[in-house]
Amino acid sequence: VVTATATGDSLLNICMDAKHHKKKPGPEGQLYGQCVLWKDNACCTANTSLEAHEDQSYLYNFNWDHCGAMPQKCKRHFIQDTCLYECSPNLGPWIDQADTSWRKERIRDVPLCQEDCEQWWEDCQDAVTCKANWHKGWNWTTGTNQCPQGAMCQKFKFVFPTAAALCEQIWSGSYLYTSHHRGSGRCIQMWFDPAQGNPNIAVAQYYA
């Protein structure tokens, strides 16, 4: 039993070993914009939180507008997704080894609350992209991601016919679509009211 607890605890309140993450989580008074939810205890710096809101930010030189301008109501979900990924100290149970040059660890199968995934899909179905997996296969010759040759730009609703397809495919299995609801303590919320505390602390404890 002792071992189990020790292992469980080691998955809590940690930062993954990746490109921009701090070594240990802690308070960040100046987190920017949508990332402010994590200011009490964050794996991201203020600078990372600012960059999370920029198009083609230096974080990954990633261009959301690779098939034309992404609507703002859609983009806010990607900003929120970046904030969760960069700032959350509660993703420990889903940290996995990554075999890429730019990070040693990644997240896999993070159980996302149904509402968070559905809303993301709802707000993005008319946005346009040319790929279902945004982790790989881009043309990077210009220094930012462009659609590979022959890839057709289509609305999200055709590339991702369901909310589950969007959440599970876009970052190659980083998220898992669940039927759990916000506040259930069984799924990670991308969005929450910081005044009520961070609900993801209890979720990490449950799965750890």
Sequence-ordered list of residues with C-beta below 8 angstroms from that of 147, at least 6 positions apart, any chain? 66, 67, 130, 131, 138, 139, 153
The CA distance from 77 to 53, in Å, is 11
pLDDT of residue 7: 60
Average pLDDT for the chain: 93
Q: Is 120 exposed, middle or buried (0-12, 13-18, 19+ CB in 10 A)?
A: buried
Strands (E), the chain: 95-100, 103-107, 110-112, 128-129, 154-155, 175-177
Find out whether 172 and 136 touch, Cβ atoms under 8 Å: yes
The CA distance from 62 to 52, in Å, is 10
pLDDT of residue 98: 85
Strands (E), 134-193: 154-155, 175-177
Global pTM reads 0.93
Q: Does 3 score more than 60 pLDDT?
A: no
The CA distance from 208 to 206, in Å, is 6
pLDDT of residue 165: 98
Residue pLDDT, tens place only, 96-130: 988 788 889 999 999 999 999 999 999 999 999 99
pLDDT of residue 1: 42
pLDDT of residue 100: 83
Bigger pLDDT: 7 vs 105: 105
Average pLDDT over residues 138-151: 95
Residue pLDDT, tens place only, 28-70: 989 999 999 999 999 999 999 999 999 877 788 999 999 999 9
What number of H helices and E strands is found in the chain? 7, 6
The CA distance from 82 to 146, in Å, is 20
Average pLDDT over residues 200-208: 96
pLDDT of residue 59: 84
pLDDT of residue 84: 97
pLDDT of residue 8: 67
Percent of the chain with pLDDT over 70: 96
Q: Does 166 score more than 50 pLDDT?
A: yes
Residue pLDDT, tens place only, 83-104: 999 999 999 999 998 878 888 9
- The alpha carbon of 181 is separated from its chain's Cα centroid by a whole number of angstroms, namely 18
